[in-house]
A and B are shown apart, each in its own frame.
Chain A
């Protein structure tokens, strides 16, 4: 039992990172109906910026997180402006292929620039384990939970309480009617990329902490898994991305603990196939109408 509880804690911390990344996929999809396959690379850049900030500026985790989020936000906005906006009126498949192209461009650009080798993520905090009887929790896991929860609450507040957040919801529901309110749709789209990318950047730093290593290819698999999480929860639906992320993280951890660790990725893709076959709109797809 205690070992099971332990796996739940491990799964939840991995899942909350997936959830942070999945939010960016889902928000961007909600607003321009594009699966931004470069999102995994934004997450990777976030990890590298966090790494560089800690390594070269000798700062703590919080400043590194903030710098990584800001840099990722900027990168997301630039990608949208340069690669997607000129294609706004093109077919969706054109934009999708472009997204894959952007993804490879950034990945290979980074391989070229910093090299393909894996580097250790600096350990900014001593990893203490707190034994709570049924399970133990590490300080890194606490940081991951804390950061993920704070960011998700902040996101909910932005989306529901601020003018820009409400404009996001309006644009995702009905872009033309939103324009008639005087909402500048381009600004709202930039804002959405900014928010989603900042969350991915934070996810990158947390993954660096969690796995201790980073490399230029690290965006690929977590990016895909977060995308699957977004689809599982119901793409376009914010709470769906959170739920999907946690479920994928739990599943993956359980497969490693009780099944075969070689199947950890395969199982996640099986989930994607099943959800597309059985309930393509995702778990929360029908019951809630909130789309961003």
Chain B
């Protein structure tokens, strides 16, 4: 469903990623792993229309989307949970979720999706009237994911969902990612925490300083020497 080909992105004169190619098939969980600075966030931002690439294509259901606005990309069913959550402080949990459905006109559908998200994350329903800035890191991550799901995406982009979270939250966040995927949402996940990311992934790509250096199924990568050495301390 998503095909990234020879993608190159510059920030000013600095090349952030170089000729990256990968694909995501409908129904999969795909993980991109790599150290800080490997260009993972840049890739997601390019897909979601926040950054324009210097070169290369992003096609989504065989349609080029690399020149489209962020709004158009959301409309077509791609939703992006940014690194560091970026919930809207000063707005309530409920208002944050509402913003996720900004482009939707089907009120009934939005209502039922809200219920679904509250069932994934009951804490959000409990705190729906609370200022999003007062939530804990894990709760903010849940809110950011819930907010992204409110657009009813076909493809969910997750940027470092485990970052800065207590282990107990990491487990439950990843359980829910699996559940969301089972219910039909394709997931593209980027992580520094290679172990959790590869455990739930159907396939994975390893990035190093802006290039893909290895690919395989989640299990293969988990067991490969290079990944073991570089990311799993073993």
User: Which residues of chain A have a CB within 8 Å of any CB of chain B?
Assistant: 163, 166-167, 169-170, 173-174, 176-184, 288-291
Contacts and interface: CB of A to CB of B under 8 A. Distances in A.
B88 A169 contact: yes
B184 interface: no
Contact of A180 (B80, B89, B90): B80
**Interface size class of chain B, counting residues whose CB lies under 8 Å from the partner chain:** 20 to 34
Contacts of A169: 88, 90-91, 95
A167 B148 CA distance: 15
Nearest to A179: B70
A166 B101 CA distance: 12
Given A180-B50, A181-B147, A166 B89 contact: no
Contacts of B90: 169, 173, 288-291
A201 B70 CA distance: 34
Given A166-B98, A166-B99, A174-B88, A182 B151 contact: yes
Given A174-B86, A289-B131, A182 B50 contact: no
Interface of B: 48-50, 69-71, 74-75, 79-80, 82, 86-91, 95, 98-100, 102-103, 131, 133, 147-148, 151
A166 B95 contact: yes
A174 B144 CA distance: 13
6 contacts: A169-B91, A174-B88, A176-B50, A182-B74, A182-B75, A289-B133
A242 B183 CA distance: 49
A184 B99 contact: no
Contacts of A181: 74, 99-100, 102-103, 147, 151
Given A169-B88, A169-B95, A180-B48, 4 more contacts: A166-B91, A180-B50, A180-B74, A290-B90
B82 A182 contact: no
Contacts of B87: 177
B89 A182 contact: no
A173 B151 CA distance: 20
A181 B148 CA distance: 8
Nearest to A288: B90
Contacts of B48: 180
A170 B88 contact: yes
Nearest to A169: B91
Contact of A173 (B50, B69, B88, B98): B88
Given A181-B99, A181-B100, A182-B70, A176 B151 contact: no
Contacts of B86: 174, 176-177, 180
Contacts of A177: 82, 86-88
Nearest to B157: A180
Contacts of A170: 88, 91, 99
Nearest to A176: B50
A183 B91 CA distance: 16
A182 B71 contact: yes
A168 to B, nearest CB: 11
A289 B89 contact: yes
Contacts of A179: 49-50, 70-71
B68 to A, nearest CB: 12
Contact of A182 (B95, B98, B102, B133): B102
A233 to B, nearest CB: 16
Given A181-B74, A182-B71, A183-B102, A173 B89 contact: yes
Nearest to A180: B80
Q: Which 6 A-B pairs have the closest CB atoms?
A: A182-B74, A177-B86, A289-B90, A182-B103, A179-B70, A290-B90
